[in-house]
Structure 1
Amino acid sequence: MQFFKKLSLIALIAFYLLAGINHFRSPDVYYSIMPAQLPFAKLLNALSGAAEIVLALLMIRPRTRKVASYGIILMLLAFIPVHTKMVMDAPFQLGTLTVSPAVAWLRLLVFQPLLIVWAGWHSKVGSPQSEKSERRS
């Protein structure tokens, strides 16, 4: 189980690092899915990307992992209006990908909760047993 959890942690860090970088590499993708009611789309996109990068980096150290996990969960909850808009706008083009209503619903109702659970699983670093195993690695 410990090996799987380490592998999962590495994947989580890579996922959020790449997602954060993508906010700066392909910002138009994110502007197109932001609800019109949200002001300052460019600033919000940059803040989202920076938050994903910072939170990914904070996941590396056991000392900051719990805070980073909760930060990721809060960030994912803050993204729900964007994913709700995707459901309302589907079908639509997102770069070269066509987002169907089914894909948009899966993103909101399946993928989003799984991302929250994934981040929450890595917040469990407070027990003495897990801290001992973290120090050994």
Structure 2
Amino acid sequence: MTTSQYISLYSISAFYLIAGISHFLSPGFFLKIMPKWVPSPKVVNQIVGAIEVLLGAAIFFDETRTLAAWGIIALLIAVFPANIYHYQLAKQKGKQVMATLVRLPLQALLIYWAHSFI
């Protein structure tokens, strides 16, 4: 692995570890943007946080890297409706509209980043 690949690996691992932990430290943020149709939002938030922590750790190791990368891709696809919902809320309130809009295509870049470890 090259130096830039190691930097990318450490970065993606840290990104998902921090994101996962934030589900437990700041659940209100995530619960606020969760679509109303999601059952048991608090439990779902904790599950997503735990999955992000698990995937962030798993991508770090050679033995689990490919599976973790696929898991990250699946997770990004699964949470995409919440990002659309967050954008719709922002648009209704007239706040953070551009930030939430830009976030939508960023999902594709995050998928590409995870795919680079397959």
Which letter maps to 1:26? S
**Given the superposition, is the C-alpha separation of residues 62 and 99 from structure 1 closer, same or farther in structure 2, using an over 3 Å criterion?**
farther
Where in structure 2 are there 5+ consecutive unaligned residues? none
Q: How much has 1:108 moved relative to structure 2?
A: 0.6
Give the match's secondary structure for 1:79. Answer: helix
Partner of 1:24: 24
| Greater share of residues in helix | 2
Q: Between Structure 1 and Structure 2, whose CA radius of gyration is higher?
A: 1
Contact 1:91 1:101 in 2 (8 A): yes
Does residue 87 in structure 1 map to residue 83 in structure 2? no
Alignment of 1:1-40 (within 5 A): 2-40=2-40
Alignment of 1:1-137 (within 5 A): 2-91=2-91, 99-109=95-105, 111-123=106-118
Contact 1:92 1:100 in 2 (8 A): no
Q: How much has 1:87 moved relative to structure 2?
A: 1.5
Query: Which contiguous aligned blocks of 4+ residues in structure 1 show a shift greater than 3 angstroms?
Result: none
> What whole-Å deviation, never above 9, does each CA across 1:48-102 have from its counterpart, x for those lacking one?
0000000111111111100000000000000111001012111488xxxx95222
Query: Separation in 1 of the partners of 2:9 and 2:79?
Result: 22
Which letter maps to 1:46? Q
Which letter maps to 1:120? H
Which letter maps to 1:77? I
Which letter maps to 1:122? F
Query: Separation in 2 of the partners of 1:78 and 1:107?
Result: 15
Which letter maps to 1:47? I
Query: Separation in 2 of the partners of 1:91 and 1:2?
Result: 42
| Greater share of residues in strand | 1
> Sequence identity of aligned pairs in percent?
36
Where in structure 1 are there 5+ consecutive unaligned residues? 124-137
Query: Separation in 2 of the partners of 1:7 and 1:92?
Result: 39
Q: How much has 1:18 moved relative to structure 2?
A: 0.5
TM-score (norm 2): 0.94
